[in-house]
Chains A and B, each alone.
Chain A
């Protein structure tokens, strides 16, 4: 059919591509005029870099912002996850029991049972060392959720349903969220402000227990995010299995 036929057939795609190329040209001009970003000492970021470790005891400044300076924002963030989990569970009803596969082969099951403890330790390490190295509650929680999802794929969701009840995941999620809020209220009692950090020891900066309740907040968020993402996965998988 040749080139004219091709053009006639993909008229929409070609039109969209031309418009997007023009848009890209203008975007390139605009974005190239953005000046290079420098951290000034007087700005908020400059202050955090300058005195963040003394004030929070956390060498990882991103964690210091997330769980100390702006811990209230992290509370809102975990509320977003909570709302997503709740609405997904509301739309795809929770009650239906899955009729699922029997899982993968014997070799996969044995291999996974050997690997799981190490992956679990890795996820827990990411959560608890959030104030020392890259990581934190959200990132480690996703690793814990991945364990749960792979468990469901390899062993089959029927086996999983017998051994890990959905109620325990709900308990973990609400427990993590409640621990988070409880630490905030404890901050009012001890330090005078919502989420004020207490028990920090900047002299020991770099050790596990140097940054007060950032460690505990990380634990709460990690458990909450892991359980929340696992609940999302299970709710979706149950409904799709039921359709077959």
Chain B
């Protein structure tokens, strides 16, 4: 399935960004890419071509896409946005504290 390949590429791209970068902003971006990959996969695996879970009046009940995963993913997107905002806030505080957001610099820094 094509969406499996796209999901794994995106997921590993985010993981690669987290493991190889030493800049905290890029690590947060990597976390967000992994998150988006998971959201994409759950939506893609539960959807049918061109059928939204929005029923029109008078139409027959056709096999529409499953609306439950979409509602769950909406929750996930909102929580992801909140956690990203919180991470960036902590980043601002780290930058204010150390004037640097590189992990190599921050490692072993005390007081």
Residues of B within 8 Å of A23, CB to CB, are: 12
Residues of B within 8 Å of A60, CB to CB, are: 53-54
Please state if B82 and A84 are interface contacts (CB–CB under 8 Å).
Answer: yes
Please state if B53 and A32 are interface contacts (CB–CB under 8 Å).
Answer: no
**B23 → chain A, closest Cβ, in Å?**
14
Asked if A55 is at the interface (CB within 8 A of a chain B CB), the reply is no
Contacting A133 at CB < 8 Å: which of B5, B54, B68?
B54
Residues of B within 8 Å of A88, CB to CB, are: 85-86, 89
Please state if B57 and A205 are interface contacts (CB–CB under 8 Å).
Answer: yes
Contacting B92 at CB < 8 Å: which of A16, A20, A81, A240?
A240
Contact with B along A114-137 (1 / 0, CB 8 A): 000000000000000000111000
**B65 → chain A, closest Cβ, in Å?**
8
Contacting A243 at CB < 8 Å: which of B9, B70, B96?
B96
Contact with A along B46-62 (1 / 0, CB 8 A): 10000011111100010
Contact with B along A33-72 (1 / 0, CB 8 A): 0100101000011001110110000011110111000100
For the complex, what is the distance from the CA of A39 to the CA of B88, rounded to whole Å?
39
| Residue in B closest to A66 when the chains form the complex, CB atoms | B71
For the complex, what is the distance from the CA of A24 to the CA of B81, rounded to whole Å?
27
**B98 → chain A, closest Cβ, in Å?**
13
Residues of A within 8 Å of B56, CB to CB, are: 59, 206
Asked if B109 is at the interface (CB within 8 A of a chain A CB), the reply is no
Residues of B within 8 Å of A13, CB to CB, are: 20
Contacting A61 at CB < 8 Å: which of B9, B53, B74, B78?
B53
Please state if A84 and B83 are interface contacts (CB–CB under 8 Å).
Answer: yes
Residues of A within 8 Å of B68, CB to CB, are: 44-45, 48, 65
Contacting A91 at CB < 8 Å: which of B4, B78, B90?
B90
Contacting A62 at CB < 8 Å: which of B8, B63, B70?
B70
| Residue in A closest to B42 when the chains form the complex, CB atoms | A37
Please state if A62 and B71 are interface contacts (CB–CB under 8 Å).
Answer: yes
Asked if A92 is at the interface (CB within 8 A of a chain B CB), the reply is yes
Residues of A within 8 Å of B78, CB to CB, are: 77, 80-81, 138, 225
Given contacts A60-B54, A62-B53, contact A16 B20 (CB under 8 A): yes
The 12 listed contacts between A and B (C-beta, < 8 Å) are: A13-B20, A28-B5, A37-B45, A44-B68, A52-B67, A53-B55, A62-B53, A77-B75, A80-B79, A87-B89, A91-B93, A239-B96
Chain A interface residues (CB < 8 Å from chain B): 12-13, 16-17, 20-21, 23-24, 27-28, 31-32, 34, 37, 39, 44-45, 48-50, 52-53, 59-62, 64-66, 70, 73-74, 77, 80-81, 83-84, 87-88, 91-92, 132-134, 138, 205-206, 225, 229, 232, 235-236, 239-240, 243
The 5 A-B pairs with the shortest beta carbon distances in the complex, nearest first, are: A84-B82, A61-B67, A61-B53, A65-B71, A31-B4
